[in-house]
Copies of this chain bind each other. A is one copy, B any other.
Amino acid sequence: MTLDHVTDFAPATGAFADDLRARLPAATFRDIEARYLEEPRGRWAGADGLLLAPETVQEVSVIVTAAAAARVPIIPYGGGTGLVGGQVAGDLATPIILSLERMTKVRRADATENALTVEAGVILQHVQEAAEAVDRLFPLTIAAQGSARIGGILSTNAGGVNVLRYGNARDLCLGLEAVMPDGSILNGLSPLRKNNTGYDLRHLLIGAEGTLGIITAATLKLLPRPAHTGAAMMAVRDPAAALNLLNMARDRIGEGVSAFELIGKTGLEFLAETMPEVRLPLGTPDWSVLIDLGLSVNGDPAAALEDLFAAASEAGLVADGVIAQSEQQRRDFWQVRESIPEGNRRIGSVSSHDISVPTAAIPDFIAEGPGVVAKIGDFRINCFGHVGDGNLHYNVFPMPGRTRDDHDDQRGAVKTAVHDLVHAHGGSVSAEHGVGRLKVGDLERYVDPTKLAAMRAIKAGLDPAGIMNPGAVLRRGT
Contacts and interface: CB of A to CB of B under 8 A. Distances in A.
A409 interface: no
A345 B297 CA distance: 42
Nearest to A392: B194
B253 A298 contact: yes
A252 B163 CA distance: 22
B196 A200 contact: no
Contact of A359 (B114, B251, B454): B114
Contacts of A171: 171
A71 interface: no
A247 interface: yes
B190 A358 contact: yes
A203 to B, nearest CB: 3
Contact of A196 (B204, B244, B253, B431): B431
A455 B200 CA distance: 9
Given A188-B448, A389-B193, A170 B432 contact: no
A335 B201 CA distance: 38
Interface stretch (A33-41, A143-151, A275-283, A456-464): A456-464
Given A255-B254, A360-B112, A195 B296 contact: no
Interface in A160-210: 163-164, 168, 170-171, 180, 184-188, 190-201, 203-204, 206-208
A93 interface: no
Interface in A449-475: 449-455, 457-458, 460-462, 473
Interface in A356-403: 356-360, 386, 388-391
B113 A360 contact: yes
A252 B430 contact: no
A227 B451 CA distance: 40
B198 A200 contact: no
Given A252-B298, A255-B255, A450-B185, A157 B196 contact: yes
A179 B465 CA distance: 28
Interface in A292-314: 295-299, 304, 307
B462 A356 contact: no
B458 A194 contact: no
Given A197-B446, A200-B203, A458-B461, A295 B254 contact: yes
Interface of A: 110-115, 156-157, 159, 163-164, 168, 170-171, 180, 184-188, 190-201, 203-204, 206-208, 212, 224, 226-227, 243-244, 247, 250-256, 295-299, 304, 307, 356-360, 386, 388-391, 426-435, 439, 442-443, 446-455, 457-458, 460-462, 473
